[in-house]
Structure 1
Amino acid sequence: ATAMSPRATRRLLLAAGLLAALGVSPVSPIHVYTPREVYGTVGSRVTLSCSFWSREWISEDISITWHFQAEGSRDSISIFHYAKGQPYIDDVGTFKERMEWAGNPRRRDGSIVIHSLEPSDNGTFTCDVKNPPDIVGKSSQVTLYVLEKVPTRYGVVLGSVIGGVLLLVAVLVALVYVTRYCWRRRQAVLQRRLSAMEKGKLQRSAKDGSKRSRQAPVLYAMLDHGRSAKKAKGDSRKDRK
């Protein structure tokens, strides 16, 4: 191998110094992405997603590591490691037999699944990816919140209460409609009766008018006859005198 001349060495050192001064790294950094928060309930399963971006081809030496820091704890423990094409799951810790590898490095996916969630699973999970020569980059964190399940009996009671309230509302609405229907029907019956009564009064008044018109000549005749009879009696008395 030929040795570099002092001038070439100075140029190389100068270029490295300029790159360092500009903050440019000769190796492109790897980027790791996870959601900020994930929620699950006790006894259920949850997927902790982790994706990454690397400018280099996926290397056979790619490694993916997950760490866990329990809520309220300062210690972080390794719970999963992927290397040499094989997943290595922690089989002695708190996630023993509850963790599943769900990623695919070829698709830039380093996700894991946790089964049978427990309240002690609350905490921060950190995903770290190395894809040589991309080994520079920041890891990404996701916080898991495990919520308590609502007991079945409380769920039944709550469902019964809600059902009872809905039934009561339905009965009240039906009662309002029935009352309104009955009121309208009664008003219609009363209106028909009033119309019939008014019609009957008109007919009676017409009949009474016709009767009076018929009886008037008879009364006048009777009055005239009475007057003539009185006059005749008066004349006879005068003749006797």
Structure 2
Amino acid sequence: MSQGAGDLLLLLAALLWAPGPSPTSSIHVYTQREVYGTVGSHVTLSCSFWSTEWISEDISITWHFQAEGSRDSTSIFHYAKGQPYIDDVGTFKERMEWVGNPHRKDGSIVIHNLDYTDNGTFTCDVKNPPDIVGKSSQVTLYVFEKVPTRYGVVLGSIIGGALLLVAVVVAIVYILRSCWLRRQATLQRRLSAMEKGKLQRSAKDASKRSRQAPVLYAMLDHSRSTKAASEKKAKGAPGESRKDKK
């Protein structure tokens, strides 16, 4: 084997055995898509995250704001080393409150005294070393004089009402059917009891008639005998009277 080929094999072996870059975990950040508020009120911008690593002391949470119609994004909040840092020069100064808890995987903030200038997109970004690779999440804030009713809410209410109505109808039908079945069962028991009573009375009447039949026959025979004797006596009476006269 030539010297050049040997050097090439050694180089390939070194590349195969050389340790590669350590893999990094991916952190996942979640926010709502849209949030609505009214002028002068407050709103909570929720931000939660999921990390494969234990919550590090070096965890950091950052919120950025991009005003509606603007291309620039500015940092308005930062959490690091266990302390929250609120922008003290921007429009959210003295109007922002930290309500999150990194140990509960919560990086939420509250914005007070809303104004129309707060319309825009807020971005939440979380880093939990060594879990630092991930995508931030965005939520859009809409500030109104009065929060409009969303079509989805109306549709959801209609669907919910329809489902509730169906459930009520099904419950009523079930109750009525149960009552009808119970009533039929009660009537059936009563009819059975009546039929049983009739049969018992019929049996008693038949037994009574069977006991009374000989007595009636005897009475009839006695009556017939008495009647025959009376008729015979009546027929013999005129002859006797004529003999007495002679």
Taking structure 2 as the reference length, the TM-score comes to 0.53
Identity fraction in percent: 82
Q: Which consecutive residues of structure 1, in runs of 5 or more, have no partner in the other structure?
A: 20-24, 151-241
Matched, 1:113 2:110: yes
Aligned residues: 138
Cα 1:12/1:106, change in 2 over 3 Å: farther
Cross-structure match for 1:67: 64
Cα 1:72/1:85, change in 2 over 3 Å: same
**Deviation per residue, 1:44-75 (Å, 9 max, x gap):** 00000000000000000000000000000000
Letter in 2 for 1:65: T
SS of the aligned residue for 2:110 comes to strand
Letter in 1 for 2:103: R
Equivalent residue in structure 2 for 1:91, among 88, 91, 94? 88
Q: Which consecutive residues of structure 2, in runs of 5 or more, have no partner in the other structure?
A: 1-9, 148-246
Cross-structure match for 1:127: 124
Q: In 1, Cα distance between the equivalents of 2:50 and 2:17? A: 30
SS of the aligned residue for 1:44 comes to coil
Cross-structure match for 2:144: 147
Matched, 1:11 2:8: no
After TM superposition, which residue ranges in structure 1, 4 or more long, deviate above 3 angstroms? 5-9
* Cα distance, 1:26 vs structure 2: 0.8
Q: In 2, Cα distance between the equivalents of 1:70 and 1:120? A: 7
Cross-structure match for 1:43: 40
Cα 1:71/1:26, change in 2 over 3 Å: same
Cross-structure match for 1:164: none
Equivalent residue in structure 2 for 1:55, among 52, 57, 61? 52
* Cα distance, 1:33 vs structure 2: 0.3
Q: In 2, Cα distance between the equivalents of 1:107 and 1:8? A: 47
* Cα distance, 1:12 vs structure 2: 3.8
| Aligned-pair Cα RMSD in Å | 2.1
Q: In 1, Cα distance between the equivalents of 2:79 and 2:87? A: 11
